[in-house]
Structure 1
Amino acid sequence: MSAARRLLLLEDDASLHETVREYLEEHGYEVCSAYDGDAAQDLLYERRFDLLILDVNVPGLDGFRLLEAARAAGVEAPAIFLTARESVEDLERGFRSGADDYLRKPFALRELLIRIDTLLKRSFYHARSETIPIGEGIDYDPRSRTLRTPEGPVTLGGKEGKLLELFLRHPDELLSHERIFDALWEYGEEPSDNSLRTYIKKLRRLLGKERIVSLKKQGYRYVVTQ
C-alpha cells in the first residue's frame, strides 16, 4: 500500500482548519497543520510536501510572501491559495507568487478535494529547469516559454505562454472565459475575445486542434492525450 500524500495546511481560523483537516484525512491524505506563516515556513524547511494549501491572511508571514520564499528556496510542490480576497490584483499576485490554483472563501469541501486531486494527478511541479512533456514529441519549458516540437522550437508570447500553462495546470477541466481573462490580462488591461481566439488558434496549430475543445459560450477545455 502506497504512503498517503502529505499536505501542508496553513489556516488560522481554528474551526475551518479543523473541518478541512478532518475532511482531507477522511479522504486518505496526511495533513500537517500550521496556524501562522512562520510555523508553516518551519514545516516547509523540515519536511517534504506533495501539495500546499495556504490561507493568505494569517499571522506572521502572509501566504503570498510564504510561497514566494518557498519557491525561491526550491520548494516545488503545487499550491492552492484559500482567501476571502476578491480583487483581480490579489488573484494576479497569488499566481505570480507561484500558486497553481486559487479558491475563494467560502468554498465547498468537495470542491477543494477535487482541485487537490486534479493537481496531484499531474506531474506539473515548480522545478526550476524541467520541461513539461505534452506528448507526440512535444514538451514545454515554462522558464523560457519555449515549446519544443518535432518541427523545431517555438517561443510563445507572454499571454500565449500563460494560457498554455493554465491549460497544463487544469487538464480536462472547463475553463470559463472569465477565468482565462483573469489569468492572462493584467490589471487595467482590457480583455479581448478576439485576442484570446488568436492565442487558441496558435496553440491548436502547434499542439493539434483536438487538444483544445471549445464549448460555445462556456469556455475551453484542454484535453489530455491518453
Structure 2
Amino acid sequence: MIKAKLLLLEDDPNLSESVCEYLEEQGYDVVPVYDASAAEDALYEGKFDVLLLDVNIPGGDGFSLLKASRKKGNVTPAIFITSRNGISDVEEGFESGGDDYIRKPYQLKELLLRIQTILKRNFYHPPSDTLDLGEGITYDILNQVLRIQNKEQPLQLKEHKLLKLFIQHKNELLTHETIMEYLWDYEETPSDGSLRTYIKTLRKLLGKDRIVSHKRLGYQFR
C-alpha cells in the first residue's frame, strides 16, 4: 500500500508531534516543517497529496506561502489550520488558493475527515471510497490500493503515482512533460526508459488498450 503524503506546517512542536503521530497511525506519510523557509524548501523538493498549513508561522505566513506556490503552478490541495477565525481571514485563506479552512482548537478526527474529503474530491466526488475501473478492477482512494478480482496488486511508487495521475485525468491526453514533472522530484533525473517500463506494467495489469500512446505527444487513459 502506498501512503498518501502530507506536508504539515505547524510551528508548535508539541502540536506538530501530536498531529503527525495521529495521522501516521491512520496510515499517512507526514512531513513536518516549522517555518516558512522550510515549507518552501519542502514544496520545491517534493510532491504531496495534501498540504496542512498553519498561518502564523516564523518567517512569513501560510496565506502568502500558498499564494506564491500557486503562482508557480502548485495545485496540491491545501487545508489551512489556524487560530485566525475572522470571516476576513477565512476569505483571505480561500483567495490565496486554500481548499479548506479549520479553526484551532480542533479535534484530530475532524482534521482526518477533512483530509479524506480532499483526497476523494481529487477523484471528482465519487459515491464511495472505491472506484470501479471495470473488468473486476478497483482502486481504493483513501488507502491508494489497486485490486484486480479483489486481489491487491503491488506497485512501485512511481507506478502507483502514474496510475493515480491517469485516474484523475481519465480520457485526457497527458503530455510527456506533464507526466515527467509529476513522477520525478527535483533532485531526480527523469527517464524515458523508466516511464515506458511503468506504462508497460500498468498495461499488463489493466489491459493494453486502456493506456493509449500518442506518438511524440503523450499518453491517454481510457
Q: What TM-score, normalized to structure 1? A: 0.54
1:95-174 equivalence runs, <5 A: 95-123=94-122
| 5+ residue gaps, structure 1 | 125-131, 135-226
Report the alpha carbon displacement of residue 133 of structure 1 after superposing the two structures with TM. Answer: 9.3
* Range that drifts further, 115-124 or 88-97: 115-124
Question: Which structure exhibits the higher relative contact order, with contacts defined as CA atoms closer than 8 Å and separated by 6 or more residues?
Answer: 2
Q: Residue 73 of structure 1 corresponds to which residue in structure 2?
A: 72
Write the distance in 1 (CA, Å) between the matches of 2:28 and 2:36: 21
Write the distance in 2 (CA, Å) between the matches of 1:67 and 1:49: 13
1:201-216 equivalence runs, <5 A: none
Q: Residue 86 of structure 2 corresponds to which residue in structure 1?
A: 87
Q: What TM-score, normalized to structure 2? A: 0.55
Q: What code does the residue aligned with 2:86 have? A: S
Report the alpha carbon displacement of residue 61 of structure 1 after superposing the two structures with TM. Answer: 2.3
Secondary structure of the structure 2 residue equivalent to 1:31? strand
Secondary structure of the structure 1 residue equivalent to 2:80? strand
Secondary structure of the structure 1 residue equivalent to 2:11? coil
Secondary structure of the structure 2 residue equivalent to 1:113? helix
The answer to whether the aligner puts 1:23 opposite 2:45 as a matched pair is no
Write the distance in 2 (CA, Å) between the matches of 1:116 and 1:27: 11
Residues matched between the structures, number:
126
4+ aligned runs moved over 2 Å, structure 1: none
Write the distance in 1 (CA, Å) between the matches of 2:80 and 2:125: 26
Write the distance in 2 (CA, Å) between the matches of 1:14 and 1:90: 24
The answer to whether the aligner puts 1:13 opposite 2:12 as a matched pair is yes
Write the distance in 1 (CA, Å) between the matches of 2:31 and 2:43: 10
Report the alpha carbon displacement of residue 123 of structure 1 after superposing the two structures with TM. Answer: 1.4
Q: Residue 60 of structure 1 corresponds to which residue in structure 2?
A: 59
| 5+ residue gaps, structure 2 | 127-222
Secondary structure of the structure 1 residue equivalent to 2:60? coil
Write the distance in 1 (CA, Å) between the matches of 2:30 and 2:112: 13
Q: Deviations over 1:69-94 (max 9, x none)?
A: 11111111110000101211111000
The answer to whether the aligner puts 1:51 opposite 2:50 as a matched pair is yes
Write the distance in 1 (CA, Å) between the matches of 2:80 and 2:11: 13
